[in-house]
Structure 1
Amino acid sequence: MNRISVMKPWLGAAESEALAEVVASGWVAQGPRTAAFEGAFAEHQHVQHAVATSSCTTALQLALIVAGVRPGDDVVVPSFSFIATANAPTYLGARPVFADVEESTGNLSADTVAAVLTGKTTAIIAVDQGGMPLDLEPLRHLCDERGIALVEDAACAAGSTYRGNPVGGGADVSAWSFHPRKLLTTGEGGMLTTNNAEWAARARRLREHAMDVSAAERHGSTLAPQEHYGEVGYNFRMTDLQAAVGLVQLGKLDAMVQRRRELAQRYREAFGGMSGLRCARDPEHGTSNFQSFWVEVLPEFRMDREQLIEKLAADEISARRGIMAAHRQPAYAGHPGMVSPLPVTERLTDNTLILPLYHELAEHEQDRVISSVLTAGGG
């Protein structure tokens, strides 16, 4: 049997042709393709400004900087997330304060955030975990009441919706990932989006060493203008090679979301009558792109989570443990941001797994996954 991977990017001839065009142009660094990708992504997400970056992590770091987070501040984050969410404030000398998440979505809620706010809280990073849209409006109200910046970590969420609109637009600033495990990939790369023109302009400067004249402007001029550096910046740029791939991928995004939602529905129908499995599903306030399809293995299932992963592996099916709990990682052991117990986070981390789901997953391959899980559960 062929091994079934847990995820695969959907790449093909169109991406290869776009890369060849960039190479032939002689301009491979951040330049016209990057600007075009920024404009197209902003339009797709219904926001005014998009700033391409080298990764979602660097986009998150810039988002916190432009939102005014400083050393010594507290930033509320979910522990139930990839560790980059907690790392971004740490890079700035701020303290990530871990909040628990909702059982149904794996996302922060206004209640879980309110439980860990301090007098030093200046920002919240709310994650659309696995593409599941967070309930933004209660968080928006909480932040507005307290003068706190709302940063959306939409790393996994391109193509997800909140109350009929693309996610990300209701936050003060959002960050996106184009890693190969996401729907829309550029290999590595990220994006910052915001409706705040001043924040976007500063992020553009900071991503290339805080130069007041962009590298594209300098290299495109016969007589290059003299640049100046008003503050300490970073090298967080995207290349035109990556952006060219991103433009092609953006054109395929709607088809990717449709296919993933069809496959997710097949999983839910197959496991709907099975005792002991709880499947990810859309919340009432939005729709998921199903960047990941996760299931929670409940006590009444015949196997525990680890045994089920081993069973799938024996059937040549690659699954993954669910989202990590950052506060359990050695990097954050004994961290002062652990101010409250996180029972839901720990339960989900211990008992969830991610099943194969990607655009080119054939139905006969998905049937193999379904059969393996049903057999494991005694069905």
Structure 2
Amino acid sequence: MSTVQESRIHVMTPWLGADEVAAVTAVIESGWVAQGPKVAEFERAFARAMHTREAVAVSNCTTALHLALIVAGVGSGDDVVVPSFSFIATANAPTYVGARPVFADVDALTGNVTAETVEAALTPATRAVIIVDQGGVPVDLDAVRAVCDPRGIVVIEDAACGAGSTYKGRPVGAGAELTAWSFHPRKILTTGEGGMLTTNHSGWAARARTLREHAMSVSAAERHSSLVSPPEEYAEIGFNFRMTDLQAAVGIVQLSKLPEVVGRRRVNAARYRQEIAGIRGLRLVDDPAWGTSNFQSLWVEVGEDYPLDREQLLLALAEAGISARRGIMAAHRHAPYRDAGTDATLPVTARLTDRTLILPLFHTMTTAEQDRVIAVLREPTG
């Protein structure tokens, strides 16, 4: 094994350990590993932590977005405003319900849509807007709702990256009508795969719970707990979007660690900011005025006055055994959505997609590891 491989710095490492192992073991020993009591427990704990009344555990964030659109009444013939500057799932979700994604540009400093970019993208057929806390940076929800609420447009928050970020002193997503969350391994709170839908609308939550389980009138847990299971009925076409108790057990432990993980990440992000501040041509994403970021993806913009372009800097980091990543994708550049937007109509999206990269950041990152990254950023040509 080479020295580079032995000393590789990963872009992200999840915090999983003995507590998660013990939690999963207990579920296995219980004999009930599918969606059941642990999922319900995780839902209650997550709702409390995110300051919302209802939480519905699902298989991933994409299915949470899918259900959010359905319960909000979005369907064929409707338009849904979304950022192109996001993982493609944000644009895919409207297509699943027969709606048309309409792309809004983003703010250059935060990478998020704004009230102005959303308003510019609205059409007479707009039924919903999906806003994203990109990389964990909180979106200005109230400003967007001020544009959408008077028009009867539902605002759905894609907080896939947002667990542990805050907006005006509360968890992100707390003020949205519907919020979707991701627990993918690249996220700060992970269950391997998995997601959550949160809302203060009890009726929407109840329907989402039914739809995630094939729209059965009697849940699997209810059938299991009864000696004579009542006959189930299916009032509509549902989905298999369930989370397992194995995943939920991990999620409960992860949720208890969230404040510590975010605190450590913010300390490391602050040190990056201090050390990078004097490097001409590099701009590190920062907290907006209205909230704090968990810095799930700590991205840096590589300007024209930096010695290397983004691709060259990625290569320089890789040669030093440092795993960085290209910044957020632009969905409008990919085959399914090339007719929905262009670089000319989404100039900030195009610029950030071409010029940003994600730096390594994780809870156990040492000062020595950070120093290696910073050294390459300062002297990229050796």
Does TM-score exceed 0.5, indicating one fold?
Answer: yes
1:16 pairs with 2:53: no
1:212 pairs with 2:203: no
3-state SS in 1 of match to 2:379: helix
141, 150, 153: which one aligns with 1:136: 141
- The amino acid across from 2:310 in the alignment is R
Deviation at 1:53?
0.2
356, 364, 376: which one aligns with 1:372: 376
Deviation at 1:358?
0.9
Deviation at 1:142?
1.0
3-state SS in 2 of match to 1:370: helix
- The amino acid across from 1:250 in the alignment is L
CA offsets, 1:209-253, max 9 Å, x none? 111111111111111111111110000000000000000000000
CA distance in 1, matches of 2:65, 2:356: 26
1:347 pairs with 2:346: no
Alignment of 1:73-88 (within 5 A): 73-88=78-93
1:117 pairs with 2:122: yes
Check the 8 A contact 2:54/2:205 in 1, yes or no.
Answer: yes
Deviating beyond 2 angstroms after TM superposition, the runs of 4 or more aligned structure 1 residues are 337-340
CA offsets, 1:157-215, max 9 Å, x none? 00000000000011110000000000000000000000000000000000001111111
1:303 pairs with 2:284: no
Check the 8 A contact 2:59/2:241 in 1, yes or no.
Answer: yes
278, 285, 292: which one aligns with 1:280: 285
Work out the number of aligned pairs and report it.
377
CA distance in 1, matches of 2:381, 2:248: 44
CA offsets, 1:53-103, max 9 Å, x none? 000000000000001101111000000000000000011110000000001
Q: Between the two proteins, what is the percent identity of the paired residues?
A: 65
Q: In structure 2, do the counterparts of structure 1 residues 272 and 377 end up closer, same or farther at CA, with 3 Å as the change threshold?
A: farther
- Runs (5+) with no aligned partner, structure 2: none
Check the 8 A contact 1:116/1:340 in 2, yes or no.
Answer: no
CA distance in 2, matches of 1:327, 1:275: 31
Residue 74 of structure 2 aligns with which residue?
A: 69
CA distance in 2, matches of 1:245, 1:289: 20
Deviation at 1:377?
7.4
Residue 41 of structure 2 aligns with which residue?
A: 36
3-state SS in 2 of match to 1:376: coil
CA offsets, 1:96-125, max 9 Å, x none? 000000011000101001111111000000
Residue 188 of structure 2 aligns with which residue?
A: 183
Residue 58 of structure 2 aligns with which residue?
A: 53
Residue 165 of structure 2 aligns with which residue?
A: 160
Residue 356 of structure 1 aligns with which residue?
A: 360
3-state SS in 2 of match to 1:115: helix
Q: TM-score, normalised by structure 2?
A: 0.97
Residue 320 of structure 1 aligns with which residue?
A: 325
Check the 8 A contact 2:343/2:350 in 1, yes or no.
Answer: no
CA offsets, 1:304-346, max 9 Å, x none? 10100000000000000000000001222224x6697000000
CA distance in 2, matches of 1:377, 1:184: 36
Residue 257 of structure 1 aligns with which residue?
A: 262
Residue 3 of structure 1 aligns with which residue?
A: 8
CA distance in 1, matches of 2:123, 2:360: 40
CA offsets, 1:109-148, max 9 Å, x none? 0100111111100000000000000001111111111000
Residue 292 of structure 1 aligns with which residue?
A: 297
CA offsets, 1:247-291, max 9 Å, x none? 000000000000000000010000111110010110000000010
Check the 8 A contact 1:99/1:340 in 2, yes or no.
Answer: no
3-state SS in 2 of match to 1:60: helix
Check the 8 A contact 1:205/1:212 in 2, yes or no.
Answer: yes
CA distance in 2, matches of 1:241, 1:366: 34
Check the 8 A contact 2:79/2:101 in 1, yes or no.
Answer: yes
CA distance in 2, matches of 1:241, 1:73: 37
CA distance in 2, matches of 1:93, 1:15: 39
102, 107, 124: which one aligns with 1:102: 107
CA distance in 1, matches of 2:342, 2:65: 21
Q: CA RMSD in A?
A: 1.2
